[in-house]
Structure 1
């Protein structure tokens, strides 16, 4: 056996040996702020950073494009995750490894309640885990819940910006088609799809999307803060579909990061572990 062969069998060689840069995101310590926005589409990164004070792309690999800058003088980053929970979970894992502490999903969604009109925002308080990624981390009964301070900051941001918004439950799926009760190729219908939308509607679920539940679940497991805000592109109840109001979610999430920074400062000054409604928001 040669020395080269012996070296290749050392335990741990199958893992990425680079401690300075994450394998998928290609970011390292110091590349990202403590608060990171998570859109799906890499093309949304530029649309998000356009509402910031300044920004710089720090990494661009596969579906993961990362930029860092400031908004209202507050450090902020954005990383695209691609479509679905597997890619989003990788982003959460690797961002946590380089210092991210607050994660906000920013995207688009389909509403299933008639009051959520196209162009409105949905701010998620919790999510139905109708995706497989989070189930590989923890039992199905474990809840996917948003951090209450992140929810509060998103609501405050939407109020300050004057946007119409709805607060409540989201359903995250692995499939845009069968998993959301849509027919597949040549009209294929998945088992149970005919009653899916109505069942969730009766349970007061507001919308469908594909990443929130995994982000919220992993954040809870790792002691991070997380939330989600999406612009409604389609309403399954009214039949409307328009790609309208894309920048609303970006502006709301970005402003929420600045508000969270103020909330954290206020809590620290009051000697509290975290912000609560008894404290002011100076933003």
Structure 2
């Protein structure tokens, strides 16, 4: 078996993985992603004990125990490009022998849950509610850098492209299903579910106009109206599809939970956006600990 070159698998002088600055023993098999580094401690303040904490750049990691379950909480920063770093380095920590630079013979499967904030695209999904992403719909194109055809929902993609008259100058939208195993653990009558769309930016890519005209001013309305097998696009954010795609390719479970703090259809914003996030954190921790 050929060794992975130092230029491809980059390690720090202490043997930790380059960007995350972590070693294998510092990562639990159950992982919570948050975007904001300041939200990590808002999750881990509920822990019974903390065993490890580190930060490099926007990547802050704390590992500890909640109701007997060992959990790692990690900030990913914003966007699919950051997810590419986080997912590949996390997988390397558990599935590559970092000393000998070869893949391990036994595969370790991680359970990854994103806790994020998002804006609802549907009028009937109000602010302060929770949305579980049954599918991730990516507009960013990142996943196309990998051999990913086998995990994509091509029929849904084709229907979406036709419905929106998607510009051929943009990356082809890709759709990946979540982990059914994690969905069963996290779903309840408190949670809406549907398709979470992932944009490659916050302003133009999500239809916001400040001083720049956008390619398709009607795109958000087309996205709102898209439906496939009774499933609609529920919300728009910047990480889920990349997490789903890379998790599935690397053999991990992933599910995205979103606190809805804005409703784009109604033009409303949560009067206290911190409250639904705190409630979603406690909800998710309890579901993972069961």
Normalising by structure 1, what TM-score?
0.80
Structure 2 contact 122–234 (Cα < 8 Å) conserved? yes
Within the alignment, does 1:103 sit opposite 2:108 as a pair?
no
Q: Distance in 2 between matches of 1:108 and 1:83?
A: 11
Normalising by structure 2, what TM-score?
0.78
Larger CA Rg, structure 1 vs 2: 1
Counterpart for residue 199 of structure 1: 222
Counterpart for residue 125 of structure 1: 134
Q: Deviations over 1:250-270 (max 9, x none)?
A: 2232223223xxxxxxxxxxx
Q: Distance in 1 between matches of 2:61 and 2:11?
A: 22
Distance 1:21 1:246, change over 3 A: same
Counterpart for residue 144 of structure 2: 135
Q: Distance in 1 between matches of 2:282 and 2:93?
A: 25
Counterpart for residue 94 of structure 1: 89
Structure 1 vs Structure 2 CA RMSD = 1.9
Distance 1:179 1:149, change over 3 A: same
Aligned residues: 240
Structure 1 contact 31–68 (Cα < 8 Å) conserved? yes
Structure 1 contact 124–169 (Cα < 8 Å) conserved? yes
Counterpart for residue 263 of structure 1: none
SS of the aligned residue for 1:45 comes to helix
SS of the aligned residue for 2:113 comes to strand
1:57-206 to 2 correspondences below 5 Å: 57-99=52-94, 101-137=110-146, 138-139=148-149, 141=154, 143-156=175-188, 164-184=190-210, 186=211, 188-192=212-216, 194-203=217-226, 204-206=232-234
Structure 2 contact 11–18 (Cα < 8 Å) conserved? no
SS of the aligned residue for 1:251 comes to helix
Q: Could you tell me which of 223, 237, 254 is aligned with 2:285?
A: 254
SS of the aligned residue for 1:143 comes to strand
Unaligned runs of 5+ in 1: 1-10, 260-283
CA drift of 1:200 comes to 1.2
CA drift of 1:132 comes to 2.5
Q: Deviations over 1:16-43 (max 9, x none)?
A: 2458311000011110110100000000
CA drift of 1:170 comes to 0.6
CA drift of 1:127 comes to 1.3
Unaligned runs of 5+ in 2: 95-108, 155-173, 227-231
CA drift of 1:149 comes to 1.2
Q: Distance in 2 between matches of 1:251 and 1:133?
A: 31
Q: Distance in 1 between matches of 2:200 and 2:137?
A: 12
Counterpart for residue 45 of structure 2: 50
Q: Deviations over 1:50-72 (max 9, x none)?
A: 22222244220001000011112
Q: Distance in 1 between matches of 2:79 and 2:59?
A: 13
Q: Distance in 2 between matches of 1:150 and 1:226?
A: 7
